C-alpha cells in the first residue's frame, strides 16, 4: 500500500495543532528540520517535535537537514520522533552509521536521505540497517518547488537494491509530489510519498490524500 506523509512545512505554524488534525487520513507526519547550514533555510526543531507528539496518533517522520545529525538524533527520538532520516551528505560514513545506530538504540526507525546529485549507490553502505530510504525529488530547503522527474531512474535503482537486499525497507520520495507526479513515483517503486503544498493547498485535504495514493 502507498503511504502518504504530508509535510508540515506547508502548514500554518500559528495553527499547527489544527493543521496536524487536518491530515489524520495520512500515514505519517513529515517534519522538515533545517539548520541554515546544511540547507539555506531554518525551520523547526526539537521543542516543536515534542509539542506535536501528543497532538497526533500518526508516526512522526523527522527529516533532518542539518550538519552532523549524529549530535542530535537521540534528542529527536526522545522528543517523540518515530522515524528519523539523516542525509548521507551531512557527515562521514562512520558518523552516519553512528547516527543510525543511535536511532535504533532508542527503539525508533532510521533511514538515509539522498540529495538530487547523490547517486543511488551512496545508500549502499547503510542499506542493511535502513528502515527507510528517502530520495529527494527537489533540492532540499524549500517547499513548493518543481518535481525532478529525472530522479526516477534513481528511485527504480533503489527499489531493485531494496528488493534484493532489504525488502522490508521503505522507499520514500520528497519534493514536488502532486496528483500527477505521484503516479510517476509509484511506477518507479516508491511506497511513501511526502507532499507539502499539494496537501495543504487542497480544498479537501482527505480527498487529496486519497488521490495521492495513486
Ligand atoms: C524540502 C522538504 C520537503 C518539502 C516538500 O526540503 O524536505 O519535505 O516540504 O514540499 P512540497 O511537497 O511542497 O514540494
Ligand atoms: Zn522533507
Ligand nearest to the CA of 134: 2
Ligand 1 shell residues, CB under 6 Å: 7, 9-10, 30, 32, 63, 138, 140-141, 143-145, 174-177, 194-198
Find the length of the chain. Answer: 214
pLDDT-flagged residues of the chain (< 70)? none
What is the side-by-side order of every strand in the sheet holding 132-136?
3-6, 192-195, 170-174, 132-136, 109-114, 83-87, 60-65, 29-34
Please tell me the distance between residue 31's alpha carbon and the centre of ligand 2 in angstroms: 7
**Spacing, Cα 175 to ligand 1 middle (Å):** 5
Nearest CA to ligand 1 atom 4: 143
How many Cα neighbours within 13 Å face the side chain of 124?
10
Query: How remote is the CA of residue 150 from the centroid of ligand 2, in Å?
Result: 18
Phi and psi (nearest 5°) for 116? -55, -40
Note the pLDDT of residue 18.
98
- Which atom in ligand 1 lies closest to the alpha carbon of residue 39? 6
Cell 503544498 identifies what position? 197
Q: Is 91 a catalytic residue?
A: no
**What pLDDT sits at residue 181?**
98
pLDDT of residue 175: 98
Using the atom order of ligand 1, give the atom closest to the CA of residue 196. 12
**pLDDT digit string (tens) for 135-162?**
999 999 999 999 999 999 999 999 999 9
> What pLDDT does residue 99 have?
99
Whether the model clears a pTM of 0.95, i.e. scores above it, the answer is yes
pLDDT at 29: 98
Question: Packing angle between helix 152-165 and helix 181-188, nearest 10 degrees?
Answer: 40
Amino acid at each position: 500500500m502507498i503511504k502518504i506523509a504530508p509535510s508540515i512545512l506547508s502548514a500554518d505554524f500559528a495553527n499547527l495543532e489544527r493543521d496536524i488534525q487536518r491530515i489524520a487520513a495520512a500515514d505519517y507526519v513529515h517534519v522538515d528540520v533545517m539548520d541554515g547550514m546544511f540547507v539555506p533555510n531554518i525551520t523547526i526543531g526539537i521543542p516543536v517535535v515534542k509539542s506535536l507528539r501528543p497532538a497526533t496518533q500518526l508516526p512522526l517522520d523527522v527529516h533532518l537537514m542539518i550538519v552532523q545529525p549524529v549530535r542530535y538524533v537521540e534528542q529527536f527520538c526522545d522528543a517523540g520522533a518515530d522515524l528519523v532520516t539523516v542525509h548521507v551528505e551531512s557527515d562521514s560514513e562512520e558518523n552516519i552509521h553512528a547516527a543510525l545506530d543511535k536511532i535504533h538504540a532508542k527503539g525508533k526507525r532510521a533511514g538515509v536521505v539522498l540529495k538530487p546529485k547523490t547517486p543511488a549507490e551512496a545508500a549502499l553502505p547503510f542499506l542493511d540497517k535502513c528502515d527507510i530510504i528517502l530520495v529527494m525529488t527537489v533540492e532540499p530547503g524549500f517547499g513548493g518547488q518543481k518535481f525532478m522527474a529525472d530522479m526516477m531512474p534513481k528511485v527504480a535503482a533503489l527499489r531493485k537494491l531494496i528488493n534484493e537486499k532489504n525488502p522490508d525497507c521503505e522507499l520514500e520520495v520528497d519534493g514536488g509530489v502532486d496528483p500527477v507526479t505521484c503516479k510517476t513515483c509509484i511506477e518507479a517503486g516508491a511506497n511513501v510519498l511526502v507532499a507539502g503544498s499539494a496537501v495543504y493547498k487542497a480544498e479537501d485535504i482527505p480527498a487529496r490524500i486519497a488521490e495521492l495514493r495513486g
